[in-house]
Structure 1
């Protein structure tokens, strides 16, 4: 099945087709150029899972090819992290790569984590191979594009406008960015996870409650269990004191 559409941009009209990637197509195998990228990506997915927001038809990707055919040429870009709300094919069909429209929704949001190595996160180059900015904005038409600098904690979130262009998204009064289609806030948090201390991207719900990671949830449950055990111990001690007082008064308490 091939789904094709013309796209008019600042350049001459492009013909974009959403075709199944050939089985013998060699996907890019570039090494991750940001040592923080796997940890940052895993943390974003972890909290969505813990909150029960990853339904069976949703999936996240990290350093994973998102494909389109532009003017007859296959284009593959691998965002550092992305979220797709719904796929329409079995997961076995997207083990190698993902083609929007053909296999499910366009990603709701894509993210790139900046490193010391210059990349094309801001590249609006329209000619083959297109820059990431142009690819996300014009070809895929992703609603939200986040660019994050892990070292400084700087976050830029862009939202696609009616004119087809990205515009810097406005921060809410709480210092977070509202993602309407996910009904979540995205923001920067500073702390430690898995021996990495620094800045992280995290989710908050509509009531501004932080979505916890698995380790945080486990710690919270352990603390709750400790508190309940302490309350039970305190109640037992009070009962022992009361029985002792009754006996001192010559009254045998009922067991």
Structure 2
């Protein structure tokens, strides 16, 4: 597949409104395109949760519909991972089916797509219905950070919105990208999670510390507990050895006719 990046040609801005999604609107229910997409998205969210960076006011979801009405047509795109810093709560018992920015909360701050080969895919700037994803996130939703990741290559691209156009960002010396909306670095890490060995997207904090997955935290706690147990066993063994030495000394003194109780 030849990937074509968007051109800087002048485009007619679409008319975007934020209408309530009709209750009978049938949301797309397309299957994910490959086996890596769900675990990649889940791993990103899991690390944030394990680091206590999630709360009830924000929205993080994967393969979840973002809705806009463009030139009077309802458009829905479901990125592989998305982050919205603040959403309005839904009524008790209501399940959020989709998200319409500005109507249901703040604009979308970050979207991520894991590379596929669809006509209106990650690099598509198709400016007509049903619109390419690049076009949908740039002039329609104005998402500040758009991440495209190909885990097989591996290639990671971070596009930042500047003057209403996406600009490809350059990584740090550590091959990471600063994501200001989350105040974290994003980069590629190769390893195994839940039995799957692949290239993963991982978070690092401002000091360069890797945000651990919950499974890594659990393993770290297990190792810490094991080390504490070993230290406790070592103390008990030392005390037992000291007790045995004292017993042997007392026996030797008694053998020599010396009463240990008379020794000061």
Q: Scaled by the length of structure 1, what TM-score is found?
A: 0.90
Aligned to 1:19: 19
Question: Which SS does the other structure have where 2:160 is aligned?
Answer: strand
Shift of 1:94: 6.0
Structure whose alpha-carbon radius of gyration is higher:
2
Query: What are structure 1's unaligned runs of at least 5 residues?
Result: 1-8
Change (3 A) 1:235 1:118: farther
Aligned to 2:107: 106
Indicate whether 1:129 and 2:124 are aligned: no
Aligned to 1:156: 157
Structure 2 contact 14–139 (Cα < 8 Å) conserved: no
Question: Which SS does the other structure have where 1:68 is aligned?
Answer: strand
Matches within 5 A, 1:137-152: 137-152=138-153
Change (3 A) 1:167 1:94: farther
Aligned to 1:221: 221
1:18-41: CA deviation from partner (whole Å, max 9, x where unpaired): 111101111112111122111111
Question: Which SS does the other structure have where 2:15 is aligned?
Answer: strand
Aligned to 1:6: none
Aligned to 2:84: 84
Shift of 1:93: 5.7
In structure 2, how many angstroms separate the alpha carbons of the residues matched to 1:181 and 1:38?
22
Aligned to 2:241: 241
Aligned to 2:67: 67
**Displacement over 3 Å in runs of 4+:** 91-94, 115-119
Shift of 1:116: 5.5
Shift of 1:248: 2.8
Pick which of 80-89 and 182-191 moved more: 80-89
Shift of 1:175: 1.8
Change (3 A) 1:138 1:116: closer
1:204-235: CA deviation from partner (whole Å, max 9, x where unpaired): 11111111111111111000000000000001
Aligned to 1:50: 50
In structure 2, how many angstroms separate the alpha carbons of the residues matched to 1:43 and 1:89?
25
CA RMSD of aligned residues (A): 1.8
Pick which of 216-225 and 236-245 moved more: 236-245
Q: Say how many residue pairs are matched.
A: 243
Change (3 A) 1:137 1:117: closer
Query: What are structure 2's unaligned runs of at least 5 residues?
Result: 1-8, 251-259
Question: Which SS does the other structure have where 2:206 is aligned?
Answer: coil
Aligned to 1:10: 10
Shift of 1:119: 5.1
Structure 1 contact 34–114 (Cα < 8 Å) conserved: no
1:146-178: CA deviation from partner (whole Å, max 9, x where unpaired): 1111112211111111x1111111211222111
Pick which of 99-108 and 225-234 moved more: 99-108
Aligned to 2:188: 188
Aligned to 2:203: 203
Structure 2 contact 84–109 (Cα < 8 Å) conserved: yes
Shift of 1:74: 0.6
